[in-house]
């Protein structure tokens, strides 16, 4: 569960990115966070992953109070989250399998657990035949699916995807969204940050719209009508 209460963020250079944000995402929800560039979407993600701290307000993520969390505990908070980026962020000199296994190993998983879990997750994202390929040997859509597998492999409570389809064509984008929907149906909370109106409107999900650092709408109608 994620809860932001009266959260504001002013960067050191004086830029006000968020003002009085109240947002609650329950376990198992599928939420689109939409808004134009510079609206504050990425700032929300950075706050949730503990990359930056709020100037004001309270943030709770999967049972961790981010106002009081100790730096030593930060890795454990991050293990409850699976983060996906627009630019995939794969390690170029590791194979698909190694990229996914790497995330498990980073949390101290045993070799036996890795050998059991990684093939399962690769199968889930439809990449079992690509396990031995390097990232530059597969397509952009496939690379994003590797990133999704990596985010999923530690069985996080929540997946946060920052513009996951930004570098993909419409067909591949739809595939990725459907994959994330499938993951949500398996019980993982999903938060997708995007500005792709057409894509959001294909799904009947909760849409939170943000602009100028304020939440301007939050509806279950699944329609992104912000211009």
Rounded Cα distance, 181 and 62, in Å: 20
Please work out, in degrees rounded to the nearest 5, the angle formed at the alpha carbon of residue 92 by the alpha carbons of 91 and 94: 70
In whole angstroms, how close is the CB of 169 to other proteins at the nearest point? 25
Output phi, psi for 177, to 5 deg.
Answer: -65, -40
In whole angstroms, how close is the CB of 110 to other proteins at the nearest point? 5
In whole angstroms, how close is the CB of 52 to other proteins at the nearest point? 10
* Paired strand residues for 214: 211
Question: Please, which residue, 100 or 209, has the CB nearer to other proteins?
Answer: 100
Question: Please, which residue, 159 or 215, has the CB nearer to other proteins?
Answer: 159
Q: Which alpha helices (DSSP H) does the chain contain, by range? A: 41-48, 74-78, 96-105, 111-124, 140-152, 170-185, 197-200
The β-bridge relationship of strands 189-194 and 30-34 is parallel
In whole angstroms, how close is the CB of 107 to other proteins at the nearest point? 5
Question: Please, which residue, 2 or 103, has the CB nearer to other proteins?
Answer: 103
Question: Please, which residue, 98 or 218, has the CB nearer to other proteins?
Answer: 98
Kindly list the residues in this chain that would bind other proteins in the complex (CB under 8 A): 49-50, 71-72, 74-79, 81, 83, 89, 91, 93, 102-103, 105-111, 150, 154
Question: Please, which residue, 155 or 204, has the CB nearer to other proteins?
Answer: 155
Rounded Cα distance, 173 and 170, in Å: 5
In whole angstroms, how close is the CB of 109 to other proteins at the nearest point? 8
């Amino acid at each position: 569960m994620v809860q932001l209460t009266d959260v504001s963020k002013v960067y050191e250079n004086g830029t006000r990115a968020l003002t009085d944000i109240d947002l609650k995402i329950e376990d198992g929800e599928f939420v689109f966070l939409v808004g134009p560039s510079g609206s504050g979407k990425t700032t929300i993600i950075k706050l949730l992953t503990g990359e930056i701290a709020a100037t004001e307000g309270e943030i709770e993520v999967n049972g961790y109070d981010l106002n009081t969390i100790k730096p030593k505990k930060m890795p454990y908070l991050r293990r409850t989250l699976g983060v996906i980026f627009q630019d995939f962020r794969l390690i170029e000199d590791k194979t698909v399998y190694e990229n996914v296994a790497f995330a498990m190993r980073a949390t101290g998983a045993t070799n036996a657990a890795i050998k059991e879990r990684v093939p399962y997750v690769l199968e889930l994202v439809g990449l079992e035949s690509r396990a031995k390929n390097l990232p530059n040997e597969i397509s952009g859509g496939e690379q994003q699916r590797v990133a999704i597998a990596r985010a999923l492999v530690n069985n996080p409570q929540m997946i946060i995807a920052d513009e996951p389809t930004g570098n993909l064509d419409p067909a591949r984008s739809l595939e990725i969204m459907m994959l994330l929907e499938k993951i949500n149906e398996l019980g993982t909370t999903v938060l997708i940050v995007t500005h792709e109106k057409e894509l959001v409107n294909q799904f009947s999900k909760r849409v939170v719209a943000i602009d100028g650092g304020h939440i301007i709408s939050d509806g279950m109608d699944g329609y992104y009508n912000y211009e």
